[in-house]
Structure 1
Amino acid sequence: MRSKSVYKKAYNHLLRRLSDPAVSCLQGPEARLAQDLQISRTTLRAVLQELQHARILGEREVLRRPRPADYFPEEETEQRSAQVERAFMEWILRADIRPGNPINVAQLSREFGVSTTVIRQYLQQMRHYGLLAQRPNSTWIFRGITADFAAELSEIRELFELRSARKVATLPTEAPIWAELRAIREDHVALLAVAETRFHDFSVLDETLHRLIYDASENRFVVEFYQIISIIFHYHYQWNKVDEKARNIAAIHQHLDYIDALLSRDVDAIERTCRAHLAAARETMRLSIGDNVPPQSLASGR
């Protein structure tokens, strides 16, 4: 088995599929199921055995619908690299890190519960994108985002996400993504009902939806690109506090339109709703950079 996180992620995926009232049994040969979940047959058999042990499945028939307590916590389904990525993004937001601020590797190692080697590897990755700089004395500095960088990133994001969203429309009806999209839609509707006071929670749904769409591309380079998307767009989306509640509520409605288009498999509707949402995200980041980053940072990239 590749890792516990892979097993737990696959287990949660199957639970979401089995939560659909239209599903009465788990269909398809092992090879197809393993391919859909991107896991080995050994891992799949372990997942099926645990579902049977929990009396959710018989042989393949559904004995009962999954309950919230059956799911593994989302943080346990992420591999270490994804955990560090999420922790780093949350740290930047929580600590209000600005261009020119130093980054303490030892401090992050203690806070994230990983080795300094893992932290340095992640920082090197961010350095590749121009977000960080390493000084001769081995200290790290957060450089921030330039206006040109943001414009280029937005353009590539639109190309990659449109490609991924079109791919979603071609996936078979038994693919796990359809149950996941329906579950994410329910989460959006639930958040919308309490958005007046919990609008900050939107960032988690935003990341979940877009990551799901990028994963559907089945292209390692597109999926890897999402790492830079998550750190930059979510960072600047939350950094700009002007009209944050109104923006988040509007974005929830955009997401619902986008999800409905994906579920409909209507490629024209998918492209229209995708472009509208990404255009709004691009404008939010443009305003965030213009309002929050000092002019010297924009000019120098520091």
Structure 2
Amino acid sequence: MAKLPITTRRSINLLLDHAAQHLKVGDALPTEMRMTEIVESSRTAVRSALAHLVEHGLIAGMKQRYLLRKPKPSDYFNVAELHSATEQLQQVLMERIYERDLPPGAEFTEVELSRAAGVSTIAVREFLIGFSRNGLIEKTPRGSWRLCAFDTKFAEELGEVREMFELKAIERFATLPPDDPAFARLRELLARHEALGKGSAESHLEFPALDREFHTFLIGLLDNRFAENLNEAVSMVYHYHYQWDKRDELPRNQHAVQEHLAILRPLVRGDVPSAMAAMREHLHSSRSTMLSALHHRENSAHAY
């Protein structure tokens, strides 16, 4: 089973704390808005946490949100042992961008990010300094940080390097033995994509997190530190541009799910050439979408 995102695990622990301290068996959970305040995160994280609590018999259901039993120590995640500070910060920053809590040009402080991720301000500062090298965040004269724009040349260069690494990752499947753990992970990703593809139109709004998981899995096959570092910049850029262009978010996500399926299905069958062709098409489509969003943003800016 795939690991839950750090924000979901943290949200689960905070909701368990709230239930242990403030609720009796049979009591209803707070409103969704109140729960976002309790966990200091988004509604997406809250809903994922609630689904976990339903699955583990703590609450009655996603709609009937009343407590069935009090939390036990075994219900909690030990987040500190499961994720590094860097992974926690990456996850929190990505989620805030996905949820539009940090639109382009927004400023945030090290203390704010430290509190949201549950890590020290020293770890936050080191992470932000390192991540600022990709040009997507910058330090302001007031000591805070700002999410920056990026231009077409930057996007095109990143897309070219991304293509080299991800096509190499697809090729790697041809060298793996049939019992390699990567194939079990591959089948799991396929099942999750198929479930999303059959879900409601609105469910496709959950695609960005699955998209990042899919591409991170592929890059991880290379066991290459340069590829992994690039993947963080790619994840940020290829989702960050959506903040400027929400015109067709739903159909765009639906189309991307089908493109992922066109890659995953032949890989599960062992048909690497077909997966390579599908990956080339997906990367071309993804880059075209991003460049279109950039041109739209630039044209909008010139209109004012």
TM over 0.5: yes
CA distance in 1, matches of 2:301, 2:125: 28
Cα distance, 1:137 vs. partner?
Answer: 4.7
Determine if the alignment matches structure 1 residue 262 to structure 2 residue 274: no
CA distance in 2, matches of 1:239, 1:170: 40
CA distance in 1, matches of 2:78, 2:185: 13
AA of the residue aligned to 2:263: Y
Aligned-partner SS, 2:292? helix
- Where do residues 207-226 of structure 1 align in structure 2 (5 Å cutoff)? 207-226=212-231
- Where do residues 150-161 of structure 1 align in structure 2 (5 Å cutoff)? 150-161=155-166
Structure 2 vs 1, CA of residues 97 and 158 (structure 1 numbering), >3 Å: closer, same or farther? same
Cα distance, 1:91 vs. partner?
Answer: 1.4
Q: Which residue of 1 aligns with 2:144?
A: 139
Determine if the alignment matches structure 1 residue 202 to structure 2 residue 211: no
CA distance in 1, matches of 2:101, 2:155: 19
Q: Is the 8 A contact 1:237 1:284 kept in 2?
A: no
CA displacement, residues 265-302 of structure 1 (integer Å, 9 cap, x when unaligned): 333212211111111110111122222357779xxxxx
CA distance in 2, matches of 1:194, 1:73: 29
Q: Which moved more, 1:265-274 or 1:119-128?
A: 265-274
Structure 2 vs 1, CA of residues 293 and 99 (structure 1 numbering), >3 Å: closer, same or farther? farther
Q: Which residue of 1 aligns with 2:86?
A: 81
AA of the residue aligned to 2:173: V
CA distance in 1, matches of 2:146, 2:249: 28
CA displacement, residues 119-165 of structure 1 (integer Å, 9 cap, x when unaligned): 11111122111112224553322222211111111111001111111
Aligned-partner SS, 1:141? strand
* Runs of 4+ deviating beyond 6 Å: 68-76, 294-297
TM-score by length of 2: 0.69
Give the aligned length: 232
Q: Is the 8 A contact 2:136 2:149 kept in 1?
A: yes
Structure 2 vs 1, CA of residues 240 and 71 (structure 1 numbering), >3 Å: closer, same or farther? farther
Aligned-partner SS, 2:262? helix
Cα distance, 1:226 vs. partner?
Answer: 0.9
CA displacement, residues 191-219 of structure 1 (integer Å, 9 cap, x when unaligned): 11114121111112211111110000111
CA distance in 2, matches of 1:270, 1:192: 18
CA distance in 2, matches of 1:117, 1:239: 31
Determine if the alignment matches structure 1 residue 103 to structure 2 residue 135: no
Aligned-partner SS, 2:138? strand
CA distance in 2, matches of 1:261, 1:227: 26
Structure 2 vs 1, CA of residues 72 and 144 (structure 1 numbering), >3 Å: closer, same or farther? farther
Q: Which runs of 5+ in 1 are unaligned?
A: 1-7, 10-67, 298-302
Structure 2 vs 1, CA of residues 142 and 294 (structure 1 numbering), >3 Å: closer, same or farther? farther
Report the aligned-residue RMSD. 2.8
AA of the residue aligned to 1:120: R
CA distance in 1, matches of 2:276, 2:164: 11
Q: Is the 8 A contact 1:105 1:119 kept in 2?
A: yes
- Bigger RCO of structures 1 and 2 (CA < 8 A, at least 6 apart): 1
Q: Which runs of 5+ in 2 are unaligned?
A: 4-54, 57-73
Q: Which moved more, 1:70-79 or 1:94-103?
A: 70-79
